[in-house]
Amino acid sequence: MKTWRVDDFARRAGATCAGVPGDATFTGFSLDSRSVAPGSLFLCIRGERVDGHDFGPQAIASGATALLTERELPGLPCIVAPSLVEALANFAKSVRAEFGGPVIGITGSNGKTSSKEFVAAALSPLGPVLKNEGNRNTEYTAPLIWAELENHQAVVSEMAMRGFGQIDHLASIAKPTISIITMIGTAHAEMVGSRAGIARAKGEILPHTSDLAIFWREDDFYGDLVAMAKTPVRTFGFSAEADCQILGYQALDWQTSRILVQLGTDRFEFEIPTVGRHQALNAAAALLAAQACGVDPLTACAAMRHVRLPEMRMEPKQIDGVMFLMDNYNASPDSTVAAIRTMNELPAQGRHVAVLGEMRELGNFAESGHRLVGKALVGSRFDQVILFGDSANWIEDEAVNLGFPAELITRAVDLNEIRERLLLLSEGDVVLIKGSRALGLEEALPGASTK
């Protein structure tokens, strides 16, 4: 982690120092006063329920060098700015202006984080690649990656959307040379009202993109995205119209799949350490980005064999002979349907079981989105489906109405009941765990402590 002088940060951020020694330095940022890293800069973020300024004394006592604040806190070393969001943006923009390498900006309803990891892996032959760690993709956390810029040859910036204007803000900082929009789905639809609204919000990245835009060719809003693009466009997908066409996908086991793609006149076959046709799409998008950055496609394919995805994204976990596919970092209708289809293609000696939690932040799409999941259950290989959450009743209603056996569906009232049912499974059974992050479905695994 790079060390910064406090006065240099303040200058770049358009802020002023108050009570900070002139030679003070910090290494990294802390956002939670309960886990302040010694020598870090603590961000006093004002939230809906808590104000980070109230925890400034605690942060300094825990070893923070200084506080980034929106008001002076007497007796404490502060970098004071009218707005934390603008201060972080100003700082990041100043560093971005000094970087001449490729910057890949990634957004979309699903697959952002996985795509980020695939792109970073595919670009790794260029040298060190800087990327958001975890899901640091908001107006407070996405700018922080620029503080880590040293000898990196490329930057991959993931951008989250919770409403109009957010992607515009983040993209104005990153100024991507290449942008990837993974897909236009229904996640966070309640923030912008419709899928068309999601397309407009995600499309805010495009005016800030200088060289190339990469889209999913089969996206319902592909035409809208092309109309918004100010640069050449390349596409990925399973259709013959895609520039990087996926010709074949095969799950080899629970954590490896093989992909065959056609890129121009060449074909490339390679393996990735995860499963799911949606992950094949993420890899294809990364291949296009790598090629545009000068990485030989064959080299990029080989590099993606070593990608490491974050936990709870198609993560296999074996407990007492039962295989669990943990895909519950978050859930939307699109990602849940994709997970169901992936389970249909995976080998199993025993029963197929699904634990499906309700999906949140869908707004007007809540009922139709859950019904899409119910429809996907019809014709699936599941021998038992455990539903959790009030909105999951639409999953059951749709599935049963379309012919899925009602006796195979059970409703759980809490995580303890889910765990009790999972304890009845036998060696060789396989289980999909999928639901909104707030549900904490991983707590229902055998051996976990439920809340």
In Å, how far are 160, 164, 234, 416 from 96, measured between CA atoms? 19, 23, 25, 48
Question: Residue 37 and residue 352: Cα distance in Å, rounded?
Answer: 44
Question: Residue 254 and residue 428: Cα distance in Å, rounded?
Answer: 13
The string of pLDDT tens digits covering residues 47-97 is 888 999 999 999 999 999 999 999 999 999 999 999 999 999 999 999 999
3-state DSSP call for residue 200? helix
Q: Is 370 exposed, middle or buried (0-12, 13-18, 19+ CB in 10 A)?
A: buried
The string of pLDDT tens digits covering residues 181-239 is 999 987 667 778 788 999 999 999 999 999 999 999 999 999 999 999 999 999 999 99
> Which amino acid type is present at position 231?
T
Confidence at residue 451, expressed as pLDDT on a 0 to 100 scale: 45
Q: Is the pTM of this model over 0.85?
A: yes
Q: Which residues pair with 354 in a beta bridge?
A: 385, 432
Confidence at residue 123, expressed as pLDDT on a 0 to 100 scale: 98
Long-range contacts of 191-195 (CB under 8 A, 24+ apart): 191/161, 191/162, 191/163, 191/361, 191/363, 192/161, 192/163, 192/164, 193/363, 193/364, 194/364, 195/220, 195/221, 195/365
Burial 135-161 (b: 16+ CB within 10 A, else e): bbbbbebbbbbbbbbeebbbbbbbbbb
Confidence at residue 96, expressed as pLDDT on a 0 to 100 scale: 98
What are the start-end ranges of the H helices in 259-403? 277-292, 297-304, 333-345, 366-377, 393-401
| Ranges of the chain with pLDDT below 50 | 450-451
Confidence at residue 413, expressed as pLDDT on a 0 to 100 scale: 94
Residue position matching structure tokens 């489906």: 385
Find the Cα–Cα–Cα–Cα dihedral 73, 78, 79, 81, rounded to 10°: -10
Residue position matching structure tokens 């959307």: 161
Query: For residue 421, what is the DSSP state?
Result: H
- Listed in sequence order, the residues at least 6 apart from 256 whose beta carbon sits closer than 8 Å to its beta carbon are 271, 272, 273, 274, 275
Cα–Cα–Cα angle for 39, 42, 48, nearest 5°?
Answer: 165
3-state DSSP call for residue 322? strand
Asked whether the beta carbons of 228 and 206 are under 8 A apart, the reply is: yes
Of the candidates 104, 117, 106, 105, the residue with the CA atom closest to the CA atom of residue 315: 117
Q: Which residues pair with 251 in a beta bridge?
A: 257
